[in-house]
Amino acid sequence: MQKKIPMRQCIGCREMKPKKELVRVVRSPEGALSLDFRGKAPGRGAYLCPNTECLKRARKGRALERAFDCAVTPEIYDALERAMEDEHNGG
Residue 90 reports pLDDT greater than 70: no
d(CA 88, CA 37): 11
Is residue 91 very low, low, confident or very high in pLDDT (cuts 50, 70, 90)?
low
Each residue of 38-68: pLDDT tens digit? Answer: 889 999 999 999 998 999 999 999 999 999 9
Domains belonging to the chain, first-starting first, are 7-88 (3.30.1230.10)
Task: List the alpha helices (DSSP H) in 1-91.
Answer: 52-60, 63-68, 74-88
pTM over 0.85: yes
| pLDDT beyond 80 at 88 | no
Q: What is the pLDDT of residue 11?
A: 96
Amino acid at 66: R
